[in-house]
Amino acid sequence: MKVSKIMLKCMILILFVAGFIQAQGSGRIRGKVLDKETGEVLPGANVLLEGTSIGAAASFEGEYYIRSIPPGNYTMVVKYLGYKDERIPVTVVAGKTIEVDVELEYVALETGEVVITAQAEGQMEAINQQLSANTIKNIVSSDRIKDIPDVNAAESVARLPGISLIRSGGEGQKVTIRGLSPQYNVMMVNGVRLQSTDRENRSVDLNMIAPNILSGIEVTKVLTADMDADAVGGTVNLRISKAREGLHTNFSAQGGYASLANDNPYGNYRLAALVSNRVFDNKLGIQLSVYIDNYNRNSDRLSASYTTNVESITNEGLIPTLLNDVNIYDDVRDRKRYGGSLVFDYQFSNGTLLLNNFIGSLKEHQIQQRNYFTTSYDWRGYATDREFTNTVISNALQGEFEFYNVNMDFSISNSITTQRHPGDLTLDMRTRSGGVQGWVPDSVIAGKENQVSPSVLLNHLQVLGQDKIVNNVNTLKRDIDETAQSAIFNVKIPYNFFSYISGDLKLGGKYERNTRKNDETAWYIDVDRGGLALDFNTLLRDVAWTDLGITKEDNGLKASLFADPDYDIGDFLSGEEGIGSNVFYNKVSIWKMHRLADIAKEYGYYLPDPLGSTQYDYNYTRNFYAFYLMTEMKIGKFITLTPGLRYEKFGFDYTADSTYVFGRLTTPGEYYYDYKEVHWDSTKDDNWFPQILLRIKPANWLDIRLASTKSIIYPDYRAVSPYLFIDTYGDPVLRMGNPYLKTAITQNYDVYVSVYDNYIGLFTAGLFYKEIENLIVPITYFTKDASKINYRYPLTPNQRTTVYTWTNLEEKSYVRGIELDWQTHFWFLPSFLKGLVLNINYTHINSETRYPYFKSVAIGSGIFKKYTYIDTTRSGRLINQPNDILNLTIGYDIGDFSARLSFQYTDNVLRSAHTVYQELDSYTAPYSRWDFTAYQKLPWLKGLQVYLNINNITNRPDRQFVSVLEKLSGVEYYGTTADLGVRYSF
């Protein structure tokens, strides 16, 4: 706090001095930086008045603006890596603005080469924007996105240093930055924050956004005071440009192939279009972009769970893990994306007004056939017809104006996220006693040493078809709505002292109001139980329901009546796991399943499930305030200091349900239960965030950046909810949120060194270190003492209750890492080698935290031996943190042909830490994949090209393991996909 006060006093002093200097009179220089041959803008170009600290960087539109220049004669130096420096004499007059557009010449012209290659142009754009940023930032350039677009925005981000993905169906869904889970990162579109797409936490999916409409992506890893402080890992900003001068259009169409799409392997497609123009003397710009696509994301999947044998210890000192059950899935999944943007901008004499409108939506239809086997000869079959739609929308009115040499900008925005599950229908089947036969090896049976894979269990069991019956059918409907209205206002005042110290003093504030609602409704009918179910079965036999062939002699509802004989599983798990398609004992006709539910609804047997309809419902409202003061101070030619101080305050209201289940009624499927709404409005907090960044440029080829920043982690929606769900029917279980959770505070340190020139390109080495205090984690424990849960509900005094909730860790958590990044193109090599382009980055991450750990301890011996649990902690890494990440892209351009081969590697990731047994921790296996993309410009029409994308060339699956002994707990094959398309632009 003492440091914060000192920083605040210093910046207030600068504010008064800056105001005095403004009154003395100064001039301004503005203009654009362009490629001399093509006329394209060069974003990130560095413009400096020689012999002073005064300068500016070109914006995404290639525009620069230097304010508060003392009158006099100067030499303006313009630099852009890959181009020759340009030196221009200028004369600055007090109170005047002079216009200077600068054209730079590609450095390879010195060797006689006159054309910059496509990939090299995009690479240089990214490098120069990264070098000109006032923080630590990685860039995906517009050229790289538009020339060969990825399937979604998450995949476009994935090749940057320190980025790993959480995948779904073979494509990226959520972004992890520096090993920090997606909910610890901020996602934005044109500076407008996207709201969470997740049911329980604050993470945002990016798989509903096609990159075709984007003009660039920024990943900012070090906070400045004008940024939201909860971007602990980083901020991903998806940029959408405004209209350029003249009429421009871009249209692309592609078809695709998916190797696991048995019915229609060539059904993938994408259509995208963009049109823009400027009218009224180029004052008004209009740009419209749209996309629509359909992708088959079928996959084969296996999962397994394990239990422990606490009676024995292995040679490694671990409790043996024993196979408990196995699930196998056939997922038929189609994804449709649509979206677009509509951007208006109007240029005034002293500024710009911008209206941004964006929508991205993903609709998925999934049919899942699932078989569940246990080592105790049980089988369950499930067929699910699921459909959901995720949509993100943002609208923002943004402006930037200058009044009397003072720059002011504002943003008024509305951000919306919706998730719709109109009705996920599931048919649940089981066997009668003795319905599963076969020989199960002794080593699989609980209590024996277990070295058997899930495939052995599956290949030794057989489910008898005549003994399969329908257990129940159920439906879940879910609606999630979140909106955020925000207002941001910033003021930037330039200053300089004797031309050797110059900069901008910036201050501003933000207000945001979030509302979020989750509403779920469930229905069901227990077909295989007495009471109401017997009446329903009688109805089915008596009604003329001949499409299923039910007869009066049927005892229960046979699962075979729902079989689809034409259902084709295909080559399950690509034939690589030793499991054949013959282990699929349920291949359900989806329309028959729907017919059963429709009959139950029509005759009043489809009952609402109060438990499924209440325990996840909530309403959440948050009010957020922030203000900041910062300066970017340039001291001479070599040093830039960016200190800042930010203040944030928030409070939220929360309404959820408290549900108490204490038995079943005589009619099966119904419960004795009680529930009520719980309201909570007592959570409020405020924090100060001192941020400081130092940049040193001791040479024209060297850039050193040091940063010390502070950030915050807000509790997830489900974690901080006041909900309670206690079930004393059977073994008592209590699930509850924890509104007493504190925010977690992170102290961050970064050191980055960059070496660059026209031959090296850009090589960067960086270190980062984070200390997290009060990290929030889920916890499971056992208690009979109500004081353990703040007396919020009575517990069963004579039985141990299992409690599931969240807590703040008492000890600090740590994240450490190194990032290496090299971007270059070999324009100086002879002959065909000059077309080579290289991007390679490597990240090593190490984290440490102390998870709550309930250690099992034996008391007594023999038949009287009992086990108790000791509350302690154990060391582990953070969830979703990989140890190593490697990205390699080798590109080649020659003439009108461009191609790139990409390799991605992510080391194993901790997915979950078990509260009681570390032997049951879950990991992913190391993941790697190869992708290939290429395009060829066609000679028949300027701007016409054909392109090819091939993803996951080697059909690499996702794998998961339990325990450091790597017991297989999951594998998913999603096949190889390919897209062939044509693009036209002018």
In a domain, 957, yes or no: yes
In a domain, 168, yes or no: no
- Average pLDDT (458-463) is 78
In a domain, 203, yes or no: no
pLDDT at 251: 92
With contact defined as beta carbons under 8 Å apart, do 379 and 330 qualify? no
Burial of residue 626, with CB atoms counted within 10 A of its CB: 0-12 exposed, 13-18 middle, 19 or more buried? buried
Asked which of 116, 131, 163 is the last residue of a domain, the reply is: 116
Each residue's pLDDT tens digit, 231-266: 999 999 999 999 998 999 999 999 988 877 777 788
- pLDDT level of residue 569 (50, 70, 90 thresholds): confident
In a domain, 195, yes or no: no
pLDDT at 668: 47
Domain that residue 267 falls in: 248-526+606-985
Distance separating the N- and C-terminal Cα atoms of the chain: 56
* 986: amino acid identity, one letter: F
Concatenated DSSP letters of 43-99 = TT-EEEETTSS-EEE--TTSEEEEEEEPSEEEEEEEE-TTB--EEEEEEE-TT-EEE
pLDDT at 114: 46
- Both 790 and 936 in one domain: the answer is yes
With contact defined as beta carbons under 8 Å apart, do 233 and 180 qualify? yes
Least confident range from 228-242, 566-580, 726-740, 881-895: namely: 566-580
Any idea what the CATH number is for the domain that residue 107 is in?
A: 2.60.40.1120
Whether the pLDDT of residue 14 is over 80: the answer is: no
Output b/e per residue, 353-389; b: 16+ Cβ within 10 A.
bbebbbbbbbbbebbbbbbbbbbebebbbbbbbbbbb
pLDDT at 451: 59
In a domain, 738, yes or no: yes
Any idea what the CATH number is for the domain that residue 611 is in?
A: 2.40.170.20
Each residue's pLDDT tens digit, 863-914: 555 556 667 788 889 999 999 999 999 999 888 899 999 999 999 999 888 8
Whether the pLDDT of residue 23 is over 60: the answer is: no
Each residue's pLDDT tens digit, 766-808: 999 999 999 999 988 777 666 566 555 566 666 678 888 899 9
Burial of residue 830, with CB atoms counted within 10 A of its CB: 0-12 exposed, 13-18 middle, 19 or more buried? exposed
pLDDT at 447: 45
- Return the structure tokens found at 25: 């009179």
- Both 111 and 252 in one domain: the answer is no
pLDDT at 664: 54
pLDDT at 876: 86
- Both 492 and 351 in one domain: the answer is yes
Comparing 398 with 567, which gets the higher pLDDT? 398
In a domain, 82, yes or no: yes
Whether the pLDDT of residue 857 is over 80: the answer is: no
Is this prediction's pTM over 0.75?
A: yes
Each residue's pLDDT tens digit, 921-963: 899 999 999 999 999 999 888 889 999 999 899 988 899 998 7
- Average pLDDT (700-721) is 95
Each residue's pLDDT tens digit, 594-641: 988 998 898 888 888 877 788 889 999 999 999 999 999 999 889 999
Q: What are φ and ψ of residue 717, in 5° steps?
A: -60, -50
The tally of domains found in the chain comes to 2
Asked which of 116, 137, 172 is the last residue of a domain, the reply is: 116
Distance in angstroms (rounded) separating the CA atoms of residues 68 and 59: 18
In a domain, 803, yes or no: yes
In a domain, 240, yes or no: no
Whether the pLDDT of residue 553 is over 60: the answer is: no
Whether the pLDDT of residue 20 is over 60: the answer is: no
Asked which of 116, 140, 166 is the last residue of a domain, the reply is: 116
Mean pLDDT over the full length of the chain = 86
Distance in angstroms (rounded) separating the CA atoms of residues 443 and 466: 29
Nearest to 278 by CA among 346, 188, 216: 346
- pLDDT level of residue 501 (50, 70, 90 thresholds): confident
